[in-house]
Amino acid sequence: MKANRKLILEDDKAVSAGIVGGLVALLITIVVGILVYWQLSGSITLTSDAANTSRDGVNTMASTVFALLPIIALVVVASIILGVVVGFGGGGRGGGM
């Protein structure tokens, strides 16, 4: 029964649409999160020098992470495309030489 379930999921176009929808929702959430973070980060005023130093370190780290997020999204999209292309060639059927 589990083997039949696997075949149904591979052939189901609703699963593919759900994956694409989830990916789009994830990317939109990332963009909104970045915008909210930078708006809130700029509006916070701190009186302590140690707190300001800490905030600057966090902002530097956030800049690095936010710069890497689009690359991660591209890798996910590329892996989905590769999976579809391999599926066109019959790579998922276990055929060999």
Q: What is the band of 57 on the pLDDT scale with cuts at 50, 70, 90?
A: very high
What pLDDT shows up at residue 30?
Answer: 85
Sequential DSSP letters for the chain: -HHHHHHHHHH-HHHHHHHHHHHHHHHHHHHHHHHHHHHHHHH-----HHHHHHHHHHHHHHHHHHHHHHHHHHHHHHHHHHHHHHHHTTGGGT---
What pLDDT shows up at residue 50?
Answer: 92
Q: Average pLDDT of 84-90?
A: 72
So where are the chain's domains?
2-90
Q: What is the band of 10 on the pLDDT scale with cuts at 50, 70, 90?
A: low
pLDDT at 66 over 70: yes
- Percent of the chain surpassing pLDDT 70: 74
Q: Average pLDDT of 24-51?
A: 87
What pLDDT shows up at residue 94?
Answer: 52
